[in-house]
Amino acid sequence: MNHDFTFGGHKSSAHIEAKTPRLGRIFSDMEAERAVIVCDRNTAPLAGEIAGGGAEIFALPDGEAAKNWQSVETVLRAVAGAGLGKDGLFVAVGGGVVSDICGFAASVYKRGAALAIVSTTLLGMADAALGGKTGFDLFDIKNFAGTFYPARHIYMPLDALRTLPPREWRSGLAEIIKTTVLDGSLYENETRKRLLALSPALSVAPDDACIDGAAALVGMAVRVKGDIVQKDPLETGDERALLNLGHTFGHALESAAGLGSLSHGEAVAWGMARAAELGVKLGITPQARAETIHDVLTELGYETRAPHPALADQEAFMWALADAKKKKAAGLRFVGPCGNGARVITPGLDGLKLAGEIAGLS
């Protein structure tokens, strides 16, 4: 199924399909004749199948630890070495780490080269590959540097999900749950059933029903995210910030636990539970909504307790929150679930203290 969007004047099409595309198809969609493929060591075999010998492939180490300046430099050096011209194409084959790094490299290569993404994780399909945010971690802070640079075509091949480990399914599902809070569908029985039907993929391996279920949920997430980003492509208003539900707490947790030790989705799930609690405290989130969010997350096996067991370094957590606060003139911002959606909350002067309490810090 195709979903077409325009982000700040740039067309971006997401293709949710059964099979992984081959390079010829990507060339035809992108109107390109030369490409380099950027992948990580786990997606390198898939990148080889896609390329079929028709493009140079550069494999990065895998995981969040590789989302750094060094990887950007490696990619830029390799692509320059391969002699890719301004009309050349960058193809990212991987999850959010590869698409964020490759997207950033494409955005600065000769002041902007064409970009396509073959997204191979549930998190990438449901969130990271769409919407144009690129970037990398710097100074131990998540996504410290980055650009807005939407890929023209984003392929979401469901067959790639068959090899995805349970922990990565869990990570991606957290972002899908976030989307269901944003469009209010989490509060419908049918949606909760669909989410719970993915349980086998979270513990053993995905069966055909999980792949079919994922297709429907990815479609929903792409529609919700795409519509939001179309309204606020550069996050200048509050609209796009809604996608950060669970991320203020989640990013601080990821930084404090040591980047890469928790998956992005695990941290976001914990952050959503905290955001719901904060919302209740500030009178924005109805108690029953917070309970539903908490129950679904717990039922699917996410850590929702405060403090998080991985939160050994309380100072680092507060430092990361303080850094988030510095980025906005209005101070620390959270996204709180409300009746049937979510809204941005700025708790004011006491925001940091309150967030520390909600995170269970002494």
Ligand X SMILES: NC(=O)c1ccc[n+]([C@@H]2O[C@H](COP(=O)([O-])OP(=O)(O)OC[C@H]3O[C@@H](n4cnc5c(N)ncnc54)[C@H](O)[C@@H]3O)[C@@H](O)[C@H]2O)c1
Whichever of 61 and 307 has its CB closer to ligand X, that residue is 61
Q: How far is the CB of 263 from ligand X (least distance, A)?
A: 6
Q: Closest CB to ligand X among 264 and 274?
A: 264
Q: How far is the CB of 13 from ligand X (least distance, A)?
A: 17
- Measured from the CB atom, the residue of 95 and 213 that comes closer to ligand X is 95
For residue 95, what are the contacts with CB-CB under 8 A and spacing of at least 6?
Answer: 40, 43, 119, 120, 121, 123, 124, 128, 168
Cβ at position 131, least distance to ligand X in Å:
5
Cα–Cα dist 238/7, whole Å? 16
- Mark 152-177 as b/e (b = at least 16 C-beta within 10 Å): bbbbbbbebbeebeeebbbbbbbbbb
Q: Residue 309 carries which side chain, given as an amino acid letter?
A: P
- Which residue number, 143 or 340, has a Cβ lying nearer to ligand X? 143
Q: CB-wise, 67 or 153, nearer to ligand X?
A: 67
Least distance from ligand X to the Cβ atom of residue 133, Å: 4
| Least distance in angstroms from the C-beta of 6 to ligand X | 17
User: Residue written as tokens 């075999």?
Assistant: 45
Is beta strand 153-157 parallel, antiparallel or unpaired with respect to 10-17?
parallel
The dihedrals phi and psi of 88, each to the nearest 5 degrees, come to -75, 165
Q: Which residue has the tokens 């109805």?
A: 286
* Residue 95 Cβ vs ligand X, minimum distance, rounded to whole Å: 2
| Residue least distant from ligand X (Cβ) | 96
Which residue ranges make up the site for ligand X (CB under 6 A)?
Answer: 40, 42-43, 62-64, 67, 94-98, 100, 120-121, 123-124, 127-128, 131, 133, 143, 160, 163-164, 168, 171, 264
Closest CB to ligand X among 133 and 192?
A: 133
